[in-house]
Structures are given as C-alpha cells and as structure tokens.
Structure 1
Amino acid sequence: MSAEAPTSRLYLTTPPELVSGGVAVGAFADLLAKAIAATDIACLRITGSDAARMATIAEPLLPLAQDLGVAVLFDDADLAQKLRGDGVHLTDPALYARARRAIGTDGIVGVACPLERHTAMEVGEAGADYIQFQPSSAPEDIELIAWWTEMMTVPSVVAGRFTPESAKAFIGAGADFLAPAPTIWAETDPVAAIAALLD
C-alpha cells in the first residue's frame, strides 16, 4: 500500500422507495444535488428493473449527476445503453462477459462478488471496472480489503451500513469507494450522514 494517506470516494445507491413512488423524484433530485455539493461522490447507481419507471427516474437524475461529474449506473446493461447511462452494476459475476459485450469497452461494468478472493480475482482480471464487496467490520473482512488494495489494481467498492468507526477502518484499508446502504437516504439529515462518511 502507498505511504500516502488513503483516500476513498462515495458510491451512492437510490432508495427503493424511488421506484415504488414513496419518494418523489424531484425531491430526491434536490437531495442528490445537495449531497454532490457537500462531499466527494463518484457514482450513482439507479436501481430497479421496470424500464418505464427507470426512464422516468433517470430523466432528471442522469443529467444532474453526469453534469456534476458523477457516473450513473443501472442494474441492467440494455437499460444502461438505452438511457445513456455510464454503465452497469452486476450482482452476478457470471453475467460479466455478456454485460461487457453490451456496454462495450468504454462503459463501466462493475461486479458484486462474494467475500472470497478467487471469484473477485477472476472477474477483475477479465476486465471489470470495479469489484464490490459487502463485508462486515470483522478484522478478517477489513484484511481482505487491505489485501485487495495491495495485490490488485481493480478498484474496490465496499458496500454496507457504516458507522464512523467502520468507515474509517475501510478507508484505512484502502477501499477506493464506500457505498452506504440506500437506507442512508432515510436519515434525519441524509446529506450530513453521507458527508460524514468521509470526515
């Protein structure tokens, strides 16, 4: 690992209530703009599978995020292409090759992997743009992120519910991105809660 102080950026995921209509798209867009202004956000993942609903959600969010330098990912490669997102997030490593063909070499294909080294290394070496892990704050999980940082050049995304202590531990281990659970948007002050992860 580098002797320099480790740095991480944030990877946000839209709340499920955005799809169900429990959260208004306009209100969420306002929150997102405030969060982007408040801290270092690299990526927004818009979750959901209904194409019509995704188009409605993406209409204000995608240009807002992209114009402010935030990459926008979807859960489906074809949908990402259709809506002109920056790429796709996969929850099944076996779908990587198909998604890469659909997205092309210029798009982002990120993959969520189990907490073991073999699958993550295989997908990383195949060309994934990042590997997402969902660890606990147990020492062996933090050590896995530290090992990945030292051994691999593919960026790591650490996803989960963070405390200030666990966020600090994963940043110290070299995690490239922290992806807080989408429940963070339900905090009393979600913008402050998001920004606090990097404080």
Structure 2
Amino acid sequence: MEFPQDQETETPVNRPRLFVITPPSFETASLAVSLEDAFKGGDIASVLIYMPEANSKELQTAAETLVPVIQAGGAAALIYGDTQVAGRCGADGAHVDTSLEDVKLAVESLQPAKIVGAGGTKLKHEDMEAAETGIDYLFLGRLDLEEQASPHPKTLSKAEWWSQLFETPCVALGGNTIASVEEAAATGADFVALKDAIWQHAEGTAAAVAEVNAILENHPFEDMD
C-alpha cells in the first residue's frame, strides 16, 4: 500500500511531504479537533498515532476515533507499535521500532494491504537490514528523546546518506520548531516528521501545516529521468 497523494492536486508530489506524529499523551476528542484543523493547512502524507505508554485497549480506543479523521483528511493513519490494533481499527499501517524480528513479522502480517514503517535503528547496517525486509519507509530519528529546536545531527547525516543511495523512502525527524523543516528537507528525505512544532504552534495546527508546506515546496526532488 502506498501513501495517499496530495488531495488538492491528486498527483504525485515531487518534494518532501509532512509526516505528523501525535503527542505521546493526549485527550482524544481534543486532538481529533486539532487534527481536523491541521488538514485545512495543506498536504499531510501521514499521521502516526504515537502512544508509547498506552496499553492495546487504550490505543485502540483512541485509534477508533482518530483513524477516520486522518483518513478523511486524505492521509495515511499509522499505529505505533501494535500491528493488531492497526488491523482492528482499520488503520493504513503500523510503525515498528522494537527489533528487526518484529519488523519482519509486521511485514509478513500486514503487507501488501497495509503500510509498514521501521525505525529505532542506530547503525547504518541496521538501516539496511530493515530495508531488506521490504518496509515501506525507514524512520530516522528517535521518537523517545526530548525534542530540540533543530533536528539531531545524526538524523540529518543519515537522511542525506540514505536519500542518495537507497530506493526505500526515508522519514527525517525535525525539531520542535517549524524552521527545523528547512534542515530536514535539505537532506533529500522523502518525508519530514514533526511533533511539537505542529501541536504547539501559536496560531494553531492549520497555520503550522501551511508553514511547513511552504518550506517543503522550496525543496523539489532532482529529476532522475
């Protein structure tokens, strides 16, 4: 399964796209409203429902509310760390960052009907091993670290390395500011991921998404034909 295209154009977007990550804890009804508003700001490729401390029941309850909102906005709804919840709630896929064996199991159980993303790698050979499983994207950056204003230097260097050499799309995690999108997009990554920069924007989520897309428009991919 592929990521949905920009609904406004219904054509492939030849530049990085926004990959939104939910806060690790939230009030579901309030977040659903913020998500609906976010889509008014422009293109969002996917939203990762990230609840690392939740049990399966809590995750599924939240996902049953959020997945329809995400899909109505034209984005792929991804579930963090639980392939069974991803299947039960009708999500578009799952994000796995626990182990290579877990990634392999996710690929076997979900593809080709659903998206499987992997992350949590530390070394380049781990990145390549993950890609060899057939994942749909490789996530570069640590979800469990406190966000800084700029992307982590290792995230930037690995994203630049990966985007130049490999076909599997990569996601570069930005910082907690909209300005950090510039550095992440400059690596050539297929997607730029943001957390707090979206949810804590002073003018709301729609304004945040609009600002991100304006930056991403200035980073077209090189024509490889």
Q: Using structure 1 for the length normalisation, give the TM-score.
A: 0.83
For this pair of structures, how many residues does the alignment match? Answer: 190
Match of 2:208 among 184, 190, 193: 193
In 2, the alpha carbon distance for the partners of 1:182 and 1:121 equals 29
- Say whether 1:52 aligns with 2:53: no
In 2, the alpha carbon distance for the partners of 1:177 and 1:53 equals 28
Runs of 4+ in 1 over 6 A off after TM superposition: none
- Say whether 1:35 aligns with 2:35: no
Gaps of 5+ in 2: 1-12, 143-149, 215-225
Match of 2:20 among 8, 12, 20: 12
Give secondary structure in 2 for the equivalent of 1:197: helix
More helix by share: 1
> Which deviates more, 44-53 or 9-18?
44-53
Decide whether the 8 Å contact of 1:6 with 1:174 is kept in 2: no
Decide whether the 8 Å contact of 1:112 with 1:131 is kept in 2: yes
Q: Mark the CA change 1:137 to 1:187 in structure 2 (over 3 Å): closer, same or farther.
A: closer
Counterpart in the other structure of 2:124: 117
- The residue identity in structure 1 corresponding to 2:75 is V
Displacement, 1:161?
Answer: 1.5
Q: Mark the CA change 1:28 to 1:116 in structure 2 (over 3 Å): closer, same or farther.
A: same
Displacement, 1:33?
Answer: 1.2
Decide whether the 8 Å contact of 1:93 with 1:111 is kept in 2: no
In 2, the alpha carbon distance for the partners of 1:41 and 1:143 equals 24
Q: Using structure 2 for the length normalisation, give the TM-score.
A: 0.74
Map Cα deviations across residues 34-68 of structure 1 (whole Å, 9 max, x no partner): 11121210111112342332233223321121123
- Say whether 1:174 aligns with 2:188: yes
When the two chains are superposed, the root-mean-square deviation of aligned CA atoms in Å is 2.4
Displacement, 1:106?
Answer: 2.1
In 2, the alpha carbon distance for the partners of 1:32 and 1:148 equals 30
> Which deviates more, 167-176 or 185-194?
185-194
